[in-house]
Amino acid sequence: MVKKKTIVKLACATMLLNSGMALFPHLAPATSTVQASSTSVAAKALGIDVASYQSADLTAHAKAGSQFAVVKVSEGTGYRNPKGASQIKSAIANDMMPMGYHFATFSSNASLAKKEAQYAISSAKALGLPKGSYLACDYETGQGNIITNGKSVTAKAILAFMDEIKAAGYQPLLYASSSVLQNNINTPSIVKKYPNSLWVAAYAISGRVDKPNFKYFPSMDGVAIWQYTDNWKGMSTDGNVAILPLSISGAAVSQAPTNPNTKHTGTVMYKAYVYKQNGERTGDSYKAYSSITYYGGKTKLKNGKSAIRVGENRYVLASNVLGNSRTFKQDAEVYQGDGSLNSSWKTYKKGSPVKTYGPKHSINGEDYYRVGKDAYVKSEVFK
């Protein structure tokens, strides 16, 4: 966040559902409400991140609709944000939930990562960041940080940083651009240890952006916060949106186990047949694009297929609702169900992640995957 991020144009299969924007409902209940609080925010809450080159007074941002503020606390092992204490205090005074971030310079050195984490912790405490707050590792190029040493060794160093943060009583997050997360870090190993701990940056356009366009959400597992612009409402401040409910108090979202009885509302993206736990089909089904209520997270049927529970001994395949994560091996056009180009969707770029729904779908004798309503890409374009 020292420099403006390279804009990453990504598309995803997420649908904008009426005025309520029921986005990623499998990550947050549809009943979530947005309200000002210095200790928690609901899913879809908007927020900012700030450093010393932003104002110490965040009142204007709060009035503009920001509900959380991620404040830079430190960098390396020798820099502490001189405005950090005032920014955290201002966030709390304006009913914005405060968080913190540390700009990493440890490259892929795990030993140095631990030292930087300890400095970030001492800085967070000195600046008044409440215990139990989110404290992110900002991992990008700049200030001597080398991101090209290899995915595995880099991930190990980042995990060493996050482990120190957790041990100190803060909730660890990893900030990076979608490109860095895909190409320079073994991100699955991060998410495996700290589920829902990613703060990802990906911009659809440059210039002023007032609210997130979820058509360009960088669909990947483990995202808690999405940074979608570096010029929120023309205020020259990074704009973010919470994908999950976030809270200082209670169990960390990034470490919370899935409650099998937690109720979620989602959208069926591909006709979903209902199965029993033994894998036997019941004869019932849900139509594509219909709303569905399910409980807990993914589970396995007796036949090994991944599913979600929709009732007592009633399941649908998870891929029809939550989708499967895939990555493009080449640029890819989006087509309609009749095989013609879908002009309302932009071309996916090589290396972009996306969610596909259901099995392969045949159109004019060719195999496609569904990525949205009447939106398909050829199966051959995936890695």
Whether 257 shows a pLDDT value over 50: the answer reads no
Burial class (CB in 10 A: 0-12, 13-18, 19+), 17: middle
Dist CA 197 CA 252 (whole Å)? 10
Per the model's pLDDT, the better-predicted residue between 124 and 34 turns out to be 124
Q: Coil, strand or helix: which one is 180?
A: helix
Across 24-33, 87-96, 331-340, least confident range: 24-33
Mean pLDDT of 287-316: 91
pLDDT band at 87 (very low <50, low <70, confident <90, very high): very high
- Measured in whole angstroms, the distance separating CA 28 from the mean position of its chain's CA atoms is 12
163 is catalytic: no
β-sheet with 314-317: strand ranges across:
263-267, 291-300, 306-311, 314-317, 272-275, 281-286
Dist CA 60 CA 328 (whole Å)? 41
DSSP state of 149: S
pLDDT band at 297 (very low <50, low <70, confident <90, very high): confident
Q: What is the pLDDT of residue 264?
A: 83
User: For residue 323, what are its two tokens?
Assistant: 């989708």
Which residue type is seen at 81? N
% of the chain exceeding 90 in pLDDT:
69
Whether 10 shows a pLDDT value over 50: the answer reads no
pLDDT band at 300 (very low <50, low <70, confident <90, very high): confident
What is this structure's pTM? Answer: 0.62
Whether 12 shows a pLDDT value over 70: the answer reads no
pLDDT band at 258 (very low <50, low <70, confident <90, very high): low
Across 242-246, 251-255, 298-302, 353-357, least confident range: 251-255
Q: What is the pLDDT of residue 326?
A: 83
366 is catalytic: no
pLDDT in tens, 324-347: 878 889 999 999 999 999 988 888
Tell me what the pLDDT averaged over the chain comes to. Answer: 87
Q: What is the pLDDT of residue 1?
A: 67
DSSP state of 225: E
Dist CA 171 CA 135 (whole Å)? 6
Question: Which one of the listed residues 75, 116, 138, 140 is annotated catalytic?
Answer: 140
Q: What is the pLDDT of residue 368?
A: 97
**Percent composition of the chain: helix, strand, coil (DSSP 3-state, to 5):** 20, 35, 50
Query: What is the end-to-end Cα distance of the chain in Å, rounded?
Result: 31
pLDDT in tens, 207-233: 999 999 988 888 788 999 999 999 999
Whether 23 shows a pLDDT value over 90: the answer reads no
Dist CA 285 CA 195 (whole Å)? 31
Across 68-82, 180-194, 308-322, 343-357, least confident range: 343-357
Mean pLDDT of 86-108: 95
Mean pLDDT of 284-302: 90
pLDDT in tens, 36-57: 457 888 889 999 999 999 999 9
pLDDT band at 352 (very low <50, low <70, confident <90, very high): confident
| DSSP character string of 60-98 | HHHHTT--EEEEEEEETTTEE-TTHHHHHHHHHHTT-EE
Listed in sequence order, the DSSP H helices in the chain are 59-63, 84-93, 110-127, 151-167, 178-183, 187-193
